[in-house]
């Protein structure tokens, strides 16, 4: 009964655009995993309690007026980030279910392409109307939002809009700020936010836009840590030095250059990342 309630309440939690949907089978499988590896679960829970207690200790030392401001900021951040993610995930799942009902044989990769369409185009597709250039949307496309209506920009005008964007030239070596020395080789695992944490594997190279306390469980298991933003005093830099894990931060075009599963060599002493064949 508890498993069913968890699935009903948190079915949307890790979905994002086209991830897993938490159902009863997912919850039961996770319970079995925890039973097999209870030490790892205990370690995660212990680390979580330590972080919570640390925050409580810090808060006790803060002035009342400052604490009041912090609580207001926490509420705003929840509404801006976590609540937004919850709504978007639920909408994506709802949309996915409609598409799967309409097109029973459709694959997840095809659904991912359809997510690139505008709302009106999705409605047209469900009405059996033809929508042009669906496959091209995931590669290079321009949308224009005007008067709260999203429209595709004609291809002849692409150049005007793309001229405003700087692109990374093809390269096999990226450069960043060396935050924690060391050398490591491994597979890239891109974790854009905490809903992607479940896919991280022991010994992978963690690649993220930045890190925060929510990343700690997988930072401990990473062979190296790479972030697109941050400096020597960023969260990723400080934690990696504590864990003695190679880390490079402030890597321009990191996320647009590296792909999931790509093999790289991280030289955090020189601040370079080499893409291997």
In a domain, 189, yes or no: yes
pLDDT band, residue 168 (cuts 50/70/90): low
Tens of pLDDT along 224-268? 999 999 999 899 999 999 999 999 999 988 988 898 899 999 999
Q: What is the pLDDT of residue 39?
A: 82
Q: Which of 45-54, 123-132, 146-155, 213-222 has the highest mean pLDDT?
A: 123-132
Is 274 within 8 Å of 258 (Cβ atoms)?
A: no
Q: What is the pLDDT of residue 9?
A: 92
Largest alpha-carbon pair distance within the chain? 62
The average pLDDT across 26-46 equals: 85
- Say which range, 72-86, 114-128, 226-240, 252-266, has the weakest mean pLDDT: 72-86
In a domain, 142, yes or no: no
Residue length of the chain: 277
Q: What is the pLDDT of residue 249?
A: 96
- For tokens 């864990």, name the residue: 243
The yes-or-no verdict on residue 24 having pLDDT over 90 is: yes
In a domain, 129, yes or no: no
Phi and psi torsions of 269, nearest 5°: -80, -40
Q: What is the pLDDT of residue 106?
A: 93
| Domain end residue (candidates: 52, 83, 114) | 83
Q: What is the pLDDT of residue 167?
A: 58
| Domain end residue (candidates: 68, 83, 98) | 83
Q: Which of 71-85, 110-124, 163-177, 186-200 has the highest mean pLDDT?
A: 110-124
Phi and psi torsions of 222, nearest 5°: -80, 145
**Structure token digits, residue 237:** 């830099």
pLDDT band, residue 99 (cuts 50/70/90): very high
| Domain enclosing residue 225, as ranges | 173-275
The average pLDDT across 37-44 equals: 80
Which pTM was predicted? 0.65
Task: Give CA–CA dist 228/244, Å, rounded.
Answer: 20
139 to each of 71, 134, 146, 160, 259, how far by Cα in Å? 42, 10, 23, 17, 14
Q: What is the pLDDT of residue 6?
A: 92
Please give the sequence-ordered ranges of beta strands (E in DSSP) within the chain, or none if there are none.
Answer: 143-146, 149-152, 173-175, 177-180, 183-190, 205-208, 224-227, 247-249, 263-267, 272-275
Contacts 24+ apart (CB under 8 A), 97-101: 98/126, 99/126
The yes-or-no verdict on residue 181 having pLDDT over 90 is: yes
In a domain, 154, yes or no: no
Q: What is the pLDDT of residue 177?
A: 96
Q: Helix and strand tally (H, E) in the chain? A: 11, 10
In a domain, 25, yes or no: yes
In a domain, 68, yes or no: yes
Three-class SS state of 98:
helix
- Say which range, 118-127, 168-177, 213-222, has the weakest mean pLDDT: 168-177
Q: What is the pLDDT of residue 160?
A: 87
The average pLDDT across 130-159 equals: 88
| Domain end residue (candidates: 43, 58, 83) | 83
Task: Give CA–CA dist 122/115, Å, rounded.
Answer: 8
Is 231 within 8 Å of 177 (Cβ atoms)?
A: yes
pLDDT band, residue 163 (cuts 50/70/90): confident
In a domain, 156, yes or no: no
Three-class SS state of 57:
helix
Q: How many domains would you assign to the chain?
A: 2
Is 20 within 8 Å of 26 (Cβ atoms)?
A: yes
Q: Which CATH number characterizes residue 232's domain?
A: 3.50.30.10
Number of Cβ within 10 Å of residue 215's Cβ equals 23
Q: What is the pLDDT of residue 169?
A: 62
- 247-249 vs 224-227, strand pairing mode: parallel
In a domain, 235, yes or no: yes
């Amino acid at each position: 009964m508890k498993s069913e309630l968890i699935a009903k309440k948190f079915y949307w939690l890790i979905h994002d655009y086209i991830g897993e949907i938490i159902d009863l089978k997912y919850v039961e499988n996770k319970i079995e995993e925890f039973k097999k590896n209870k030490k790892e679960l205990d370690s995660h829970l212990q680390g979580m309690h330590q972080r919570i207690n640390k925050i409580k200790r810090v808060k006790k030392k803060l002035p009342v007026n400052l604490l009041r401001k912090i609580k207001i900021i926490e509420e705003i951040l929840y509404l801006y980030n976590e609540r937004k993610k919850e709504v978007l995930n639920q909408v994506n799942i709802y949309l996915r279910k409609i598409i799967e009902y309409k097109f029973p044989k459709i694959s997840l990769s095809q659904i991912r392409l359809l997510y690139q369409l505008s709302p009106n185009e999705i409605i047209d597709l469900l009405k059996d109307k033809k929508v042009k250039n669906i496959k091209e949307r995931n590669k290079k496309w321009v949308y224009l939002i005007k008067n709260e209506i999203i429209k595709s920009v004609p291809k002849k005008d692409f150049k005007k809009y793309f001229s405003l964007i700087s692109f990374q030239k093809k390269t096999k070596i990226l450069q960043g700020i060396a935050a924690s020395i060391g050398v490591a080789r491994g597979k890239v695992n891109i974790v854009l936010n905490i809903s992607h944490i479940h896919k991280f594997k022991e010994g992978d190279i963690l690649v993220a836009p930045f890190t925060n306390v929510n990343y700690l469980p997988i930072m401990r298991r990473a062979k190296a840590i790479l972030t697109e933003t941050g400096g020597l005093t960023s969260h990723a830099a400080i934690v990696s030095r504590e864990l003695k894990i190679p880390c490079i931060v402030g890597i321009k075009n990191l996320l647009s250059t590296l792909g999931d599963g790509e093999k790289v060599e991280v030289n955090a002493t020189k601040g370079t990342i080499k893409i291997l064949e």
